[in-house]
Protein backbone atom coordinates (compact mmCIF):
# COMPACT_ATOMS: atom_id res chain seq x y z
CA UNK A 1 0.00 0.00 0.00
CA UNK A 2 1.48 3.41 -0.96
CA UNK A 3 1.86 6.30 1.49
CA UNK A 4 -1.16 8.32 0.24
CA UNK A 5 -3.48 5.31 0.34
CA UNK A 6 -2.34 4.51 3.88
CA UNK A 7 -3.06 8.06 5.00
CA UNK A 8 -6.43 8.04 3.28
CA UNK A 9 -7.40 4.85 5.10
CA UNK A 10 -6.34 6.31 8.45
CA UNK A 11 -8.42 9.41 7.73
CA UNK A 12 -11.43 7.21 6.92
CA UNK A 13 -10.82 5.22 10.13
CA UNK A 14 -11.14 8.29 12.32
CA UNK A 15 -13.95 9.80 10.32
CA UNK A 16 -15.75 6.54 11.12
CA UNK A 17 -15.38 7.39 14.82
CA UNK A 18 -16.91 10.81 14.22
CA UNK A 19 -19.75 9.21 12.24
CA UNK A 20 -20.47 7.00 15.26
CA UNK A 21 -20.53 10.03 17.56
CA UNK A 22 -22.75 11.81 15.04
CA UNK A 23 -25.11 8.81 15.02
CA UNK A 24 -25.44 8.91 18.83
CA UNK A 25 -26.39 12.55 18.86
CA UNK A 26 -28.35 12.44 15.64
CA UNK A 27 -30.85 9.96 17.05
CA UNK A 28 -31.58 12.33 19.93
CA UNK A 29 -31.79 15.46 17.82
CA UNK A 30 -33.92 14.50 14.83
CA UNK A 31 -36.74 16.59 16.21
CA UNK A 32 -34.59 19.70 15.97
CA UNK A 33 -33.76 20.02 12.25
CA UNK A 34 -31.80 23.25 12.76
CA UNK A 35 -29.44 21.63 15.28
CA UNK A 36 -29.14 18.50 13.14
CA UNK A 37 -28.22 20.58 10.07
CA UNK A 38 -25.62 22.49 12.08
CA UNK A 39 -24.08 19.21 13.33
CA UNK A 40 -23.78 17.95 9.74
CA UNK A 41 -22.29 21.24 8.54
CA UNK A 42 -19.74 21.36 11.38
CA UNK A 43 -18.93 17.68 10.91
CA UNK A 44 -18.18 18.35 7.24
CA UNK A 45 -15.91 21.31 8.12
CA UNK A 46 -14.12 19.35 10.85
CA UNK A 47 -13.46 16.40 8.53
CA UNK A 48 -12.08 18.64 5.77
CA UNK A 49 -9.80 20.54 8.17
CA UNK A 50 -8.47 17.27 9.58
CA UNK A 51 -7.87 15.77 6.13
CA UNK A 52 -6.30 18.95 4.71
CA UNK A 53 -3.88 19.41 7.60
CA UNK A 54 -3.03 15.70 7.84
CA UNK A 55 -2.09 15.49 4.14
CA UNK A 56 -0.58 18.92 3.47
CA UNK A 57 0.95 20.31 6.66
CA UNK A 58 4.63 21.31 6.26
CA UNK A 59 5.82 18.51 8.60
CA UNK A 60 4.68 14.91 8.68
CA UNK A 61 2.10 14.37 11.41
CA UNK A 62 1.19 11.34 13.47
CA UNK A 63 -2.40 11.42 12.22
CA UNK A 64 -3.60 9.12 15.03
CA UNK A 65 -2.31 11.45 17.74
CA UNK A 66 -3.51 14.48 15.79
CA UNK A 67 -7.08 13.14 15.76
CA UNK A 68 -6.83 12.13 19.42
CA UNK A 69 -5.81 15.70 20.28
CA UNK A 70 -8.79 17.02 18.34
CA UNK A 71 -11.24 14.75 20.15
CA UNK A 72 -9.75 15.52 23.55
CA UNK A 73 -9.85 19.24 22.78
CA UNK A 74 -13.53 19.00 21.87
CA UNK A 75 -14.44 16.96 24.95
CA UNK A 76 -12.30 19.28 27.09
CA UNK A 77 -14.96 21.95 26.71
CA UNK A 78 -17.39 19.74 28.69
CA UNK A 79 -17.10 18.14 32.14
CA UNK A 80 -14.00 16.05 33.02
CA UNK A 81 -16.00 12.81 33.15
CA UNK A 82 -16.78 12.69 29.44
CA UNK A 83 -13.79 10.79 28.06
CA UNK A 84 -12.83 9.10 24.78
CA UNK A 85 -10.99 5.76 24.91
CA UNK A 86 -9.28 4.45 21.81
CA UNK A 87 -8.51 0.76 21.29
CA UNK A 88 -5.26 1.16 23.26
CA UNK A 89 -7.00 2.45 26.40
CA UNK A 90 -9.81 -0.05 26.82
CA UNK A 91 -8.10 -1.11 30.05
CA UNK A 92 -9.68 1.92 31.69
CA UNK A 93 -13.19 0.69 30.88
CA UNK A 94 -12.37 -2.78 32.20
CA UNK A 95 -11.16 -1.21 35.46
CA UNK A 96 -14.39 0.79 35.87
CA UNK A 97 -16.73 -2.12 35.19
CA UNK A 98 -14.93 -5.13 36.65
CA UNK A 99 -12.03 -3.92 38.79
CA UNK A 100 -9.55 -5.55 36.41
CA UNK A 101 -6.80 -3.94 34.34
CA UNK A 102 -3.47 -4.66 32.73
CA UNK A 103 -0.63 -3.37 34.89
CA UNK A 104 2.18 -4.30 37.24
CA UNK A 105 0.44 -4.05 40.63
CA UNK A 106 1.41 -0.66 42.03
CA UNK A 107 -0.37 2.47 43.22
CA UNK A 108 1.32 5.78 42.48
CA UNK A 109 0.93 9.29 43.86
CA UNK A 110 2.30 12.71 42.94
CA UNK A 111 3.94 14.90 45.58
CA UNK A 112 5.70 18.13 44.65
CA UNK A 113 5.89 16.93 41.03
CA UNK A 114 7.66 13.70 42.12
CA UNK A 115 6.03 10.34 41.33
CA UNK A 116 6.15 7.92 44.27
CA UNK A 117 5.16 4.28 44.54
CA UNK A 118 2.56 4.50 47.35
CA UNK A 119 1.63 0.81 47.47
CA UNK A 120 2.77 -2.49 45.99
CA UNK A 121 0.15 -5.23 45.60
CA UNK A 122 1.08 -8.66 46.87
CA UNK A 123 1.70 -11.38 44.27
CA UNK A 124 2.06 -9.22 41.17
CA UNK A 125 4.94 -8.21 38.89
CA UNK A 126 6.07 -5.10 40.78
CA UNK A 127 6.52 -7.01 44.03
CA UNK A 128 8.22 -9.95 42.30
CA UNK A 129 10.76 -7.68 40.56
CA UNK A 130 11.53 -5.70 43.74
CA UNK A 131 9.71 -2.36 43.43
CA UNK A 132 9.07 -0.88 46.86
CA UNK A 133 6.76 1.54 48.57
CA UNK A 134 8.51 4.93 48.55
CA UNK A 135 10.43 4.41 45.30
CA UNK A 136 10.59 7.53 43.11
CA UNK A 137 9.79 6.81 39.45
CA UNK A 138 11.67 9.18 37.16
CA UNK A 139 11.19 7.58 33.72
CA UNK A 140 8.87 5.10 32.02
CA UNK A 141 10.04 3.59 28.72
CA UNK A 142 12.70 6.29 28.47
CA UNK A 143 10.19 9.16 28.85
CA UNK A 144 10.78 11.61 31.70
CA UNK A 145 7.79 12.04 34.00
CA UNK A 146 8.76 15.58 34.94
CA UNK A 147 5.73 17.88 34.71
CA UNK A 148 3.39 15.10 33.60
CA UNK A 149 -0.15 14.75 34.98
CA UNK A 150 -0.83 11.82 37.30
CA UNK A 151 -3.63 10.45 35.09
CA UNK A 152 -1.32 10.38 32.06
CA UNK A 153 1.33 8.55 34.09
CA UNK A 154 -1.23 5.95 35.16
CA UNK A 155 -2.10 5.38 31.50
CA UNK A 156 1.58 4.78 30.73
CA UNK A 157 1.83 2.17 33.49
CA UNK A 158 -1.30 0.32 32.39
CA UNK A 159 -1.61 -1.63 29.16
CA UNK A 160 -2.23 -5.00 27.63
CA UNK A 161 -1.23 -7.99 29.80
CA UNK A 162 1.97 -9.50 28.42
CA UNK A 163 3.36 -6.19 27.17
CA UNK A 164 6.68 -4.89 28.51
CA UNK A 165 7.67 -1.60 30.09
CA UNK A 166 10.80 -0.15 31.65
CA UNK A 167 11.04 1.87 34.86
CA UNK A 168 13.86 4.08 36.05
CA UNK A 169 13.61 4.46 39.83
CA UNK A 170 15.50 6.53 42.37
CA UNK A 171 15.95 4.87 45.76
CA UNK A 172 18.15 6.22 48.53
CA UNK A 173 20.23 8.21 46.03
CA UNK A 174 20.75 5.20 43.74
CA UNK A 175 19.24 4.81 40.26
CA UNK A 176 17.72 1.38 39.57
CA UNK A 177 16.35 0.14 36.23
CA UNK A 178 13.46 -2.35 36.13
CA UNK A 179 12.29 -4.50 33.23
CA UNK A 180 8.63 -5.35 33.87
CA UNK A 181 5.83 -7.26 32.16
CA UNK A 182 2.22 -6.20 32.57
CA UNK A 183 -0.28 -8.78 33.77
CA UNK A 184 -3.97 -8.84 34.62
CA UNK A 185 -4.50 -7.11 37.95
CA UNK A 186 -7.66 -8.00 39.85
CA UNK A 187 -8.46 -5.45 42.55
CA UNK A 188 -10.35 -6.43 45.67
CA UNK A 189 -13.58 -4.48 46.04
CA UNK A 190 -13.65 -5.33 49.75
CA UNK A 191 -10.11 -5.37 51.18
CA UNK A 192 -11.44 -6.24 54.64
CA UNK A 193 -14.61 -7.11 56.52
CA UNK A 194 -14.96 -8.34 60.07
CA UNK A 195 -16.01 -7.37 63.58
CA UNK A 196 -14.58 -4.26 65.25
CA UNK A 197 -14.49 -3.02 68.84
CA UNK A 198 -14.98 -5.51 71.65
CA UNK A 199 -15.97 -9.02 70.63
CA UNK A 200 -19.23 -8.74 72.57
CA UNK A 201 -20.19 -5.49 70.75
CA UNK A 202 -21.34 -7.39 67.65
CA UNK A 203 -20.44 -4.47 65.36
CA UNK A 204 -19.70 -5.53 61.77
CA UNK A 205 -17.38 -3.53 59.50
CA UNK A 206 -17.19 -3.56 55.69
CA UNK A 207 -14.66 -1.52 53.73
CA UNK A 208 -15.73 -1.08 50.09
CA UNK A 209 -13.19 0.46 47.71
CA UNK A 210 -15.16 0.58 44.42
CA UNK A 211 -18.47 -0.23 42.75
CA UNK A 212 -17.95 -2.83 40.01
CA UNK A 213 -20.17 -5.55 38.56
CA UNK A 214 -19.20 -7.87 41.44
CA UNK A 215 -19.48 -5.40 44.35
CA UNK A 216 -23.14 -6.12 45.14
CA UNK A 217 -22.50 -9.87 45.48
CA UNK A 218 -19.42 -9.27 47.63
CA UNK A 219 -21.30 -6.96 50.01
CA UNK A 220 -24.20 -9.43 50.16
CA UNK A 221 -21.87 -12.32 51.00
CA UNK A 222 -20.19 -10.30 53.76
CA UNK A 223 -23.56 -9.36 55.29
CA UNK A 224 -24.77 -12.97 55.12
CA UNK A 225 -21.59 -14.07 56.93
CA UNK A 226 -22.31 -11.63 59.76
CA UNK A 227 -25.94 -12.76 60.00
CA UNK A 228 -24.95 -16.42 60.06
CA UNK A 229 -22.49 -15.76 62.88
CA UNK A 230 -25.29 -14.18 64.92
CA UNK A 231 -24.98 -11.42 67.56
CA UNK A 232 -25.16 -8.68 64.87
CA UNK A 233 -25.82 -5.40 66.70
CA UNK A 234 -24.66 -2.82 64.16
CA UNK A 235 -22.95 -2.28 60.79
CA UNK A 236 -20.24 0.23 59.84
CA UNK A 237 -20.03 0.65 56.05
CA UNK A 238 -16.81 2.43 55.10
CA UNK A 239 -16.96 4.39 51.82
CA UNK A 240 -14.01 6.67 52.52
CA UNK A 241 -11.75 7.12 49.48
CA UNK A 242 -14.25 5.19 47.35
CA UNK A 243 -14.37 7.09 44.04
CA UNK A 244 -17.49 5.28 42.82
CA UNK A 245 -18.14 3.13 39.78
CA UNK A 246 -21.29 1.54 38.44
CA UNK A 247 -24.67 3.06 39.29
CA UNK A 248 -26.28 -0.40 39.13
CA UNK A 249 -23.93 -1.64 41.85
CA UNK A 250 -24.91 1.26 44.11
CA UNK A 251 -28.62 0.53 43.65
CA UNK A 252 -28.06 -3.19 44.30
CA UNK A 253 -26.14 -2.50 47.53
CA UNK A 254 -28.81 -0.07 48.79
CA UNK A 255 -31.36 -2.89 48.41
CA UNK A 256 -29.48 -4.75 51.18
CA UNK A 257 -30.13 -2.00 53.74
CA UNK A 258 -33.42 -0.14 53.06
CA UNK A 259 -37.07 -1.14 53.12
CA UNK A 260 -38.73 -2.54 50.00
CA UNK A 261 -40.29 0.08 47.65
CA UNK A 262 -38.11 2.92 49.02
CA UNK A 263 -37.16 5.61 46.50
CA UNK A 264 -33.38 5.37 46.12
CA UNK A 265 -32.44 7.70 43.28
CA UNK A 266 -33.77 9.99 40.55
CA UNK A 267 -31.92 10.59 37.28
CA UNK A 268 -32.71 13.26 34.67
CA UNK A 269 -31.25 13.71 31.19
CA UNK A 270 -31.55 16.53 28.64
CA UNK A 271 -35.08 15.61 27.55
CA UNK A 272 -38.03 16.47 29.79
CA UNK A 273 -39.37 12.91 29.62
CA UNK A 274 -36.03 11.33 30.56
CA UNK A 275 -36.62 11.22 34.33
CA UNK A 276 -36.07 7.78 35.82
CA UNK A 277 -36.76 6.71 39.41
CA UNK A 278 -35.07 3.78 41.12
CA UNK A 279 -36.83 1.92 43.95
CA UNK A 280 -35.69 -0.90 46.22
CA UNK A 281 -37.20 -4.16 45.02
CA UNK A 282 -36.50 -6.57 47.85
CA UNK A 283 -36.68 -6.87 51.61
CA UNK A 284 -33.38 -5.77 53.14
CA UNK A 285 -30.80 -8.24 54.39
CA UNK A 286 -30.13 -5.92 57.35
CA UNK A 287 -33.42 -4.76 58.88
CA UNK A 288 -33.98 -1.21 60.03
CA UNK A 289 -33.70 -2.22 63.71
CA UNK A 290 -29.97 -2.84 63.27
CA UNK A 291 -28.07 0.48 63.45
CA UNK A 292 -26.07 1.50 60.37
CA UNK A 293 -23.21 3.98 60.15
CA UNK A 294 -21.72 5.06 56.80
CA UNK A 295 -18.24 6.63 56.78
CA UNK A 296 -17.41 9.25 54.11
CA UNK A 297 -14.67 11.77 53.37
CA UNK A 298 -13.66 14.25 50.66
CA UNK A 299 -12.72 11.38 48.30
CA UNK A 300 -16.11 9.66 48.62
CA UNK A 301 -17.63 10.26 45.18
CA UNK A 302 -20.24 9.29 42.61
CA UNK A 303 -21.78 5.87 43.37
CA UNK A 304 -20.54 6.22 46.98
CA UNK A 305 -22.50 9.45 47.26
CA UNK A 306 -25.58 7.77 45.77
CA UNK A 307 -25.43 5.22 48.60
CA UNK A 308 -24.60 7.64 51.43
CA UNK A 309 -27.12 10.22 50.14
CA UNK A 310 -29.95 7.68 50.04
CA UNK A 311 -29.08 6.29 53.49
CA UNK A 312 -29.19 9.85 54.86
CA UNK A 313 -32.37 10.95 53.08
CA UNK A 314 -34.23 7.79 54.13
CA UNK A 315 -32.98 8.18 57.73
CA UNK A 316 -31.70 4.62 57.51
CA UNK A 317 -28.35 5.35 59.12
CA UNK A 318 -25.97 7.97 60.48
CA UNK A 319 -23.31 9.49 58.19
CA UNK A 320 -19.95 10.16 59.88
CA UNK A 321 -16.82 11.83 58.49
CA UNK A 322 -16.20 14.88 56.33
CA UNK A 323 -18.12 16.30 53.37
CA UNK A 324 -17.96 14.11 50.28
CA UNK A 325 -16.55 15.01 46.87
CA UNK A 326 -19.72 16.26 45.16
CA UNK A 327 -20.24 14.41 41.88
CA UNK A 328 -23.89 14.44 40.85
CA UNK A 329 -23.45 13.29 37.25
CA UNK A 330 -24.05 9.91 35.62
CA UNK A 331 -21.99 8.55 32.73
CA UNK A 332 -22.76 5.83 30.22
CA UNK A 333 -20.24 3.96 28.09
CA UNK A 334 -21.02 3.93 24.36
CA UNK A 335 -19.34 1.77 21.74
CA UNK A 336 -17.84 3.66 18.80
CA UNK A 337 -15.93 2.31 15.80
CA UNK A 338 -12.82 0.11 15.72
CA UNK A 339 -12.87 -0.88 19.39
CA UNK A 340 -13.02 2.68 20.70
CA UNK A 341 -15.49 3.84 23.35
CA UNK A 342 -16.97 7.06 24.69
CA UNK A 343 -17.79 7.57 28.37
CA UNK A 344 -20.34 10.36 28.20
CA UNK A 345 -22.23 12.31 30.87
CA UNK A 346 -25.88 11.76 30.02
CA UNK A 347 -27.75 12.45 33.27
CA UNK A 348 -27.78 14.31 36.54
CA UNK A 349 -28.77 12.31 39.59
CA UNK A 350 -30.78 13.44 42.60
CA UNK A 351 -30.99 11.85 46.05
CA UNK A 352 -34.45 10.71 47.30
CA UNK A 353 -35.11 14.13 48.89
CA UNK A 354 -34.39 15.81 45.54
CA UNK A 355 -30.83 17.02 46.18
CA UNK A 356 -28.43 17.55 43.28
CA UNK A 357 -25.12 17.30 45.14
CA UNK A 358 -22.79 18.41 42.31
CA UNK A 359 -20.00 20.56 43.79
CA UNK A 360 -18.71 22.18 40.59
CA UNK A 361 -21.34 23.16 38.03
CA UNK A 362 -19.41 22.69 34.79
CA UNK A 363 -22.49 23.63 32.79
CA UNK A 364 -22.94 27.02 34.42
CA UNK A 365 -19.27 27.93 34.82
CA UNK A 366 -18.08 26.71 31.40
CA UNK A 367 -15.63 29.24 29.96
CA UNK A 368 -16.01 27.97 26.40
CA UNK A 369 -19.72 28.82 26.20
CA UNK A 370 -20.69 25.55 24.50
CA UNK A 371 -23.83 25.04 26.61
CA UNK A 372 -26.80 26.83 25.10
CA UNK A 373 -29.27 26.44 27.99
CA UNK A 374 -28.17 26.55 31.61
CA UNK A 375 -30.79 24.96 33.83
CA UNK A 376 -30.78 26.33 37.36
CA UNK A 377 -30.82 24.19 40.49
CA UNK A 378 -31.08 26.89 43.13
CA UNK A 379 -32.84 25.14 45.98
CA UNK A 380 -30.42 24.29 48.78
CA UNK A 381 -32.50 22.87 51.67
CA UNK A 382 -34.36 19.56 51.59
CA UNK A 383 -36.04 17.26 54.10
CA UNK A 384 -35.33 13.64 54.92
CA UNK A 385 -38.05 11.04 55.46
CA UNK A 386 -38.23 11.97 59.16
CA UNK A 387 -38.22 15.71 58.44
CA UNK A 388 -34.55 16.52 59.08
CA UNK A 389 -33.10 19.41 57.06
CA UNK A 390 -30.29 18.39 54.68
CA UNK A 391 -28.36 20.62 52.31
CA UNK A 392 -27.48 20.47 48.61
CA UNK A 393 -24.36 22.60 48.81
CA UNK A 394 -21.96 20.25 47.04
CA UNK A 395 -21.41 16.72 48.30
CA UNK A 396 -23.02 14.88 51.19
CA UNK A 397 -22.57 16.64 54.54
CA UNK A 398 -22.14 14.18 57.42
CA UNK A 399 -24.48 14.00 60.41
CA UNK A 400 -21.41 13.88 62.64
CA UNK A 401 -18.33 15.67 61.33
CA UNK A 402 -14.84 14.30 61.92
CA UNK A 403 -12.48 16.95 60.64
CA UNK A 404 -9.55 15.48 58.71
CA UNK A 405 -6.24 16.22 60.37
CA UNK A 406 -3.75 18.07 58.20
CA UNK A 407 -0.27 16.66 57.89
CA UNK A 408 2.24 18.48 60.07
CA UNK A 409 5.30 20.12 58.54
CA UNK A 410 7.65 17.67 60.19
CA UNK A 411 5.65 14.64 59.05
CA UNK A 412 5.79 15.89 55.47
CA UNK A 413 9.54 16.56 55.75
CA UNK A 414 10.15 13.05 57.13
CA UNK A 415 8.05 11.55 54.36
CA UNK A 416 9.85 13.51 51.65
CA UNK A 417 13.23 12.35 52.97
CA UNK A 418 12.03 8.70 53.05
CA UNK A 419 12.67 8.47 56.79
CA UNK A 420 9.71 6.17 57.47
CA UNK A 421 10.72 3.91 54.59
CA UNK A 422 14.36 3.78 55.68
CA UNK A 423 13.52 3.19 59.34
CA UNK A 424 11.23 0.29 58.37
CA UNK A 425 14.17 -1.29 56.53
CA UNK A 426 16.44 -0.71 59.53
CA UNK A 427 13.93 -2.02 62.08
CA UNK A 428 13.00 -5.17 60.15
CA UNK A 429 16.66 -5.97 59.54
CA UNK A 430 17.14 -5.87 63.35
CA UNK A 431 13.92 -7.83 63.99
CA UNK A 432 13.59 -10.43 61.22
CA UNK A 433 10.50 -12.63 61.08
CA UNK A 434 8.14 -10.53 63.21
CA UNK A 435 4.47 -11.20 62.44
CA UNK A 436 2.80 -8.17 64.03
CA UNK A 437 3.88 -4.69 65.08
CA UNK A 438 2.64 -1.99 67.44
CA UNK A 439 4.82 0.99 68.20
CA UNK A 440 6.10 1.68 71.72
CA UNK A 441 7.82 4.69 73.27
CA UNK A 442 11.14 2.84 73.09
CA UNK A 443 10.72 2.26 69.34
CA UNK A 444 9.74 5.92 68.89
CA UNK A 445 12.94 6.99 70.67
CA UNK A 446 14.86 4.57 68.46
CA UNK A 447 13.30 6.32 65.44
CA UNK A 448 14.45 9.74 66.71
CA UNK A 449 18.01 8.45 67.09
CA UNK A 450 17.84 6.85 63.65
CA UNK A 451 16.83 10.04 61.80
CA UNK A 452 19.59 11.91 63.64
CA UNK A 453 22.12 9.34 62.41
CA UNK A 454 20.73 9.76 58.87
CA UNK A 455 21.45 13.49 59.03
CA UNK A 456 17.80 14.51 58.88
CA UNK A 457 17.59 18.28 59.18
CA UNK A 458 14.11 19.70 59.63
CA UNK A 459 13.71 22.96 57.73
CA UNK A 460 10.37 24.54 58.59
CA UNK A 461 8.55 27.25 56.69
CA UNK A 462 9.74 29.69 59.36
CA UNK A 463 13.37 28.72 58.59
CA UNK A 464 12.81 29.65 54.97
CA UNK A 465 11.32 33.01 55.97
CA UNK A 466 14.38 33.80 58.08
CA UNK A 467 16.63 32.97 55.12
CA UNK A 468 14.51 35.29 52.95
CA UNK A 469 14.93 38.09 55.52
CA UNK A 470 18.69 37.53 55.50
CA UNK A 471 18.79 37.82 51.69
CA UNK A 472 16.86 41.10 51.90
CA UNK A 473 19.28 42.35 54.55
CA UNK A 474 22.24 41.46 52.33
CA UNK A 475 20.75 43.40 49.40
CA UNK A 476 19.86 46.43 51.54
CA UNK A 477 23.11 46.34 53.52
CA UNK A 478 21.32 46.44 56.89
CA UNK A 479 23.17 47.16 60.15
CA UNK A 480 24.83 44.40 62.22
CA UNK A 481 22.09 44.64 64.89
CA UNK A 482 19.61 43.31 62.36
CA UNK A 483 21.77 40.23 61.64
CA UNK A 484 22.19 39.64 65.39
CA UNK A 485 18.41 39.73 65.75
CA UNK A 486 18.03 37.11 62.98
CA UNK A 487 20.61 34.86 64.69
CA UNK A 488 18.70 35.05 68.01
CA UNK A 489 15.44 34.38 66.17
CA UNK A 490 16.93 31.34 64.43
CA UNK A 491 18.27 29.96 67.73
CA UNK A 492 14.83 30.29 69.33
CA UNK A 493 13.27 28.64 66.30
CA UNK A 494 15.66 25.68 66.40
CA UNK A 495 14.81 25.09 70.07
CA UNK A 496 11.12 24.97 69.14
CA UNK A 497 11.76 22.75 66.11
CA UNK A 498 13.60 20.26 68.33
CA UNK A 499 10.32 19.78 70.24
CA UNK A 500 8.25 19.46 67.05
CA UNK A 501 8.58 15.70 66.65
CA UNK A 502 7.31 15.15 70.20
CA UNK A 503 4.39 17.56 69.67
CA UNK A 504 3.29 15.47 66.69
CA UNK A 505 4.27 12.11 68.20
CA UNK A 506 0.87 10.46 67.59
CA UNK A 507 1.03 11.29 63.87
CA UNK A 508 4.66 10.13 63.58
CA UNK A 509 4.04 6.92 65.52
CA UNK A 510 1.07 6.05 63.33
CA UNK A 511 3.17 6.64 60.18
CA UNK A 512 5.93 4.34 61.48
CA UNK A 513 3.41 1.64 62.39
CA UNK A 514 1.70 1.90 59.01
CA UNK A 515 5.00 1.67 57.10
CA UNK A 516 6.22 -1.41 58.95
CA UNK A 517 2.84 -3.14 58.76
CA UNK A 518 2.88 -2.68 54.98
CA UNK A 519 5.85 -5.04 54.90
CA UNK A 520 4.65 -7.76 57.28
CA UNK A 521 0.83 -7.89 56.97
CA UNK A 522 -1.42 -8.84 54.08
CA UNK A 523 -4.01 -6.33 52.83
CA UNK A 524 -6.93 -7.24 55.10
CA UNK A 525 -4.68 -7.37 58.17
CA UNK A 526 -3.27 -3.93 57.28
CA UNK A 527 -6.76 -2.46 57.06
CA UNK A 528 -7.72 -4.03 60.39
CA UNK A 529 -4.56 -2.69 62.06
CA UNK A 530 -5.25 0.82 60.72
CA UNK A 531 -8.67 0.90 62.40
CA UNK A 532 -7.36 0.83 65.97
CA UNK A 533 -6.65 4.57 66.14
CA UNK A 534 -9.20 5.68 63.53
CA UNK A 535 -11.28 8.52 65.02
CA UNK A 536 -14.23 7.96 62.68
CA UNK A 537 -14.32 4.25 63.59
CA UNK A 538 -14.15 5.06 67.31
CA UNK A 539 -17.05 7.50 66.91
CA UNK A 540 -19.07 5.01 64.83
CA UNK A 541 -18.72 2.35 67.54
CA UNK A 542 -19.73 4.87 70.21
CA UNK A 543 -22.87 5.95 68.31
CA UNK A 544 -23.99 2.38 67.65
CA UNK A 545 -23.53 1.54 71.34
CA UNK A 546 -25.60 4.61 72.33
CA UNK A 547 -29.09 3.93 70.90
CA UNK A 548 -30.65 7.09 72.35
CA UNK A 549 -28.15 9.33 70.55
CA UNK A 550 -28.34 7.27 67.35
CA UNK A 551 -32.14 7.58 67.27
CA UNK A 552 -32.02 11.26 68.19
CA UNK A 553 -29.72 12.02 65.26
CA UNK A 554 -32.27 10.41 62.91
CA UNK A 555 -35.31 12.08 64.56
CA UNK A 556 -36.72 8.68 65.48
Q: What are the phi and psi torsion angles at 301 (to 5°)?
A: -140, 160
Angle at which helices 505-520 and 409-416 cross, to 10°: 30
Specify the pLDDT at position 27: 47
- In sequence order, what are the residues at sequence separation of 6 or more whose Cβ sits closer than 8 angstroms to the Cβ of residue 180? 104, 125, 126, 129, 164, 165, 166, 167
Q: What is the pLDDT of residues 195-232, one digit of tens each?
A: 998 878 999 999 999 999 999 999 999 999 999 988 89
Q: What is the pLDDT of residues 379-431, one digit of tens each?
A: 778 999 999 999 887 899 999 999 988 888 899 889 878 899 889 989 999 99
Q: How far apart are CA 327 and CA 297, in angstroms?
A: 13
Q: Choose between 471 and 267: higher pLDDT.
A: 267
Q: Choose between 496 and 301: higher pLDDT.
A: 301
Specify the pLDDT at position 494: 72
**% of residues, the chain, pLDDT over 70:** 92
User: Mean pLDDT over residues 184-197, rounded?
Assistant: 91
User: Mean pLDDT over residues 364-391, rounded?
Assistant: 80
Q: How far apart are CA 357 and CA 394, in angstroms?
A: 5
* Residue 469: Cβ within 10 Å count: 17
Full-model pTM: 0.82
Strands 400-401 and 318-321: parallel
Eight-state DSSP code of residue 414: H
Asked whether residue 286 carries a pLDDT value surpassing 60, the answer given is yes
Q: How far apart are CA 241 and CA 243, in angstroms?
A: 6
Burial of 122: CB neighbours in 10 Å, binned 0-12, 13-18, 19+: exposed
Asked whether residue 4 carries a pLDDT value surpassing 90, the answer given is no
Q: Choose between 314 and 79: higher pLDDT.
A: 314
Specify the pLDDT at position 412: 86
Q: Choose between 40 and 172: higher pLDDT.
A: 40
Asked whether residue 520 carries a pLDDT value surpassing 50, the answer given is yes
- In sequence order, what are the residues at sequence separation of 6 or more whose Cβ sits closer than 8 angstroms to the Cβ of residue 128? none
Alpha helices in 331-387, H assignment, sequence order: 362-365
Q: Choose between 97 and 236: higher pLDDT.
A: 236
Asked whether residue 522 carries a pLDDT value surpassing 70, the answer given is yes
Asked whether residue 326 carries a pLDDT value surpassing 90, the answer given is yes
Asked whether residue 483 carries a pLDDT value surpassing 50, the answer given is yes
Q: How far apart are CA 222 and CA 228, in angstroms?
A: 10
Q: How confident is the model at residue 544 (pLDDT cuts 50, 70, 90)?
A: very high
Specify the pLDDT at position 458: 79
| Mean pLDDT (the chain, rounded) | 88
Asked whether residue 291 carries a pLDDT value surpassing 50, the answer given is yes
Q: What is the pLDDT of residues 246-259, one digit of tens each?
A: 999 999 999 999 99
User: Mean pLDDT over residues 299-311, rounded?
Assistant: 97
Specify the pLDDT at position 447: 95
Specify the pLDDT at position 523: 75
User: Mean pLDDT over residues 153-157, rounded?
Assistant: 90
Q: How confident is the model at residue 187 (pLDDT cuts 50, 70, 90)?
A: confident
Specify the pLDDT at position 30: 46
Q: Choose between 415 and 311: higher pLDDT.
A: 311
Specify the pLDDT at position 473: 80
Q: What is the pLDDT of residues 13-68, one digit of tens each?
A: 555 555 454 554 444 444 456 888 989 999 999 999 999 999 999 999 999 999 99
Specify the pLDDT at position 373: 66
Angle at which helices 247-254 and 303-313 cross, to 10°: 30
Q: Which of 111, 117, 113 is nearest to 130 (CA)?
A: 117
Specify the pLDDT at position 89: 76
User: Mean pLDDT over residues 99-106, rounded?
Assistant: 91
Q: Choose between 303 and 93: higher pLDDT.
A: 303
Q: What beta strand segments (E) does 222-323 contain?
A: 234-238, 263-268, 276-279, 292-296, 318-321
Q: How confident is the model at residue 3 (pLDDT cuts 50, 70, 90)?
A: very low
Amino acid sequence: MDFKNRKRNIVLFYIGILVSINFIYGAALKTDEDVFDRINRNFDIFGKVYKEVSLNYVDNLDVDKFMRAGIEGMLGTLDPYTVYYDENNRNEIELITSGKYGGIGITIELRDSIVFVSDVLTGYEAEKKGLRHGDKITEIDGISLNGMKLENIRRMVRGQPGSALRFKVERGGDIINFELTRQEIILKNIPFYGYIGEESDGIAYIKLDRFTNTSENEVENALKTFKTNGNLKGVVFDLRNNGGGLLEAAIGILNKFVARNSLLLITKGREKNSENKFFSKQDPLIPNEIPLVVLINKNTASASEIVSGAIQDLDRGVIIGSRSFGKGLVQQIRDLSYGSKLKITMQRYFTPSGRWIQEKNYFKENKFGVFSNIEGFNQTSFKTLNGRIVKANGGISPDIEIKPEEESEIYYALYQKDMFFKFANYFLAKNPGIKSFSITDDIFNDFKEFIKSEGFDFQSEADKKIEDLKLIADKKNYANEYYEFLVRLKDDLQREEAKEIDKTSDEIKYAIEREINKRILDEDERVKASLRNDKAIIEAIRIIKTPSEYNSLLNK
